[in-house]
Chains A and B, each alone.
Chain A
Amino acid sequence: MAGNPGTLFREIDPPHGLLPSVLARIAVARRRAARLRFAASGTLALVSVLILVPAVQYAASEFYASGFSDYASLFFDSLSGGFSRELLYSLLDSLPSLALLILASAAGALLWSLKRTNRDARIAFAPLSLPA
């Protein structure tokens, strides 16, 4: 008997309503989870927009203040007469890296959260399609 399992008890057919009930509970849980994620990613998108506006202003002011555009113009003009390593270093040195980092982070967070928000919204607000 011990070496021959599966001979004593046969499987029982579950009630007809059990499968739809299981799938319905999963569908409801899935929608609830999507709504929570939607709220989180929507909040992140909003915060990203709020950060993005001053980040753009800060980056623009830093560009003007750093003289980056002047160095860039000088660098590209000089290319016709030969490559200048010193001008390149000056150009890189004048790059407003902190402002760019903030701007890129805010833009990245906004894009990522919009993508998530869009995906979760489709699940969170779609009508439940329960099996018959």
Chain B
Amino acid sequence: MEKPDEELVVEHLAGNEEAFTLLVKRHLKGIYSFVARLAAEEADDIVQDTFLKAWKGLRSYDSRSAAFKTWLTRIARNAAIDHLRKKKPLVFSDFGDGTEDGFPDPEDSEPLPDEAFARAEDAQALEEALKSLQPLYREVILLRDMSQLTFEEMGAVLGAPVNTVRSRYRRGLARMKRLLESVHQKGM
């Protein structure tokens, strides 16, 4: 049976370097997938920075406050923001109220856009729609729909209240739906 991450952290802190190698192998794909969709061109550097920062800061990790995956994803997100800021200052300034792209906010009762996603049979269309989203929404959708974090875990990664994360996620999905619909209409 596979050892839990937290046990590997304890082993690493006790002097077993191989335990951290196992953690890297276990989380590399997930972290890379998340980072590559936030900052594709610099994904390799960001992933390297992420694991290096995790290695250096492992003593500060507290398994009672967050799962290792959540903690690591938070480091990856911060590393991605740092890289993007260096490359293009204020690129993440749209991490504000999220109304800059002209789409109205969905009502809470608005149904989730399953239909639109079902129509997007082509994964490429989904990827393109995701790329068109602001990073603010892109990251919540990735954290939820790829990394499979709970809203509580997403709140820990983003440093935001759960309700904020939840509404941001819904807005992100609604915006993706509109993007996919416009792609679909153009294709008709």
Distance in angstroms between the alpha carbons of A25 and B21 in the assembled complex: 12
Among A2, A12, A13, max chain B CB count under 10 A is at A12
> Given A2-B112, A29-B56, is A23 in contact with B145 using a C-beta cutoff of 8 Å?
no
Shortest Cβ gap from A96 to chain B (Å): 40
Interface residue count for B (Cβ, 8 Å)?
A: 37
- Complex alpha-carbon distance, A30 and B15, angstroms: 12
| Complex CA distance for A15 and B44, rounded to whole angstroms | 8
CB distance from B58 to the nearest CB of A (A): 11
Against B, the Cβ 8 Å flags (1 = close, 0 = not) of A50-70 are: 000000000000000000000
Tell me the B135-176 residues at the A interface (CB within 8 Å).
Answer: 141-142, 144-146, 148-149, 169-170, 173
Whether A22 lies near B28 (C-beta < 8 A) is yes
Chain B residues with CB under 8 Å of A12's CB are: 29, 32-33, 36-37
Give how many A residues have a beta carbon under 8 Å from the other chain's beta carbons: 22
Q: Which residues of A are found within 8 Å of B104, using beta-carbon distances?
A: none
B148 x A6 contact (CB < 8 A): yes
What residues of chain B lie closer than 8 Å to A2, measured between beta carbons?
Answer: 112, 144, 169-170, 173
Contact between chains at A1 and B173 (CB < 8 Å): yes
CB distance from B156 to the nearest CB of A (A): 16
Whether, in the assembled complex, B55 has its beta carbon less than 8 Å from a beta carbon of chain A, the answer is: yes
**Majority SS at the chain A contact face:** loop
B76 to chain A, nearest CB (A): 12
- Contact call A23/B21, Cβ cutoff below 8 A: yes
Nearest chain B CB to A121's CB is how many angstroms away? Answer: 16
Known contacts A8-B141, A9-B145: A19-B173 contact under CB 8 Å: no
User: Using Cβ atoms and an 8 Å threshold, which residues of chain B touch A29?
Assistant: 52, 55-56
Chain A residues whose CB sits within 8 angstroms of the CB of B130 once the complex forms:
9
A8 to B51, CA, bound (A): 26
A5–B51 CB distance below 8 A: no
Partner of A26 from the list B20, B33, B37, B47 (CB cut-off 8 Å) is B20
Return the 10 tightest CB-CB contacts between A and B, nearest first.
Answer: A8-B145, A14-B32, A11-B33, A9-B146, A6-B148, A12-B33, A1-B112, A22-B51, A5-B148, A5-B144
**Can you sample 20 A-B contacts with CB below 8 Å?**
A1-B113, A2-B112, A6-B145, A8-B117, A9-B33, A9-B37, A9-B142, A10-B123, A12-B33, A12-B37, A14-B28, A14-B29, A14-B32, A15-B44, A19-B25, A22-B48, A22-B52, A26-B20, A29-B52, A30-B17
Given contacts A8-B117, A8-B145, 8 further A-B contacts (CB under 8 A): A2-B169, A5-B148, A6-B145, A7-B145, A9-B130, A13-B29, A26-B20, A29-B55
Residue numbers of A with Cβ under 8 A of B are 1-2, 5-15, 18-19, 21-23, 25-26, 29-30
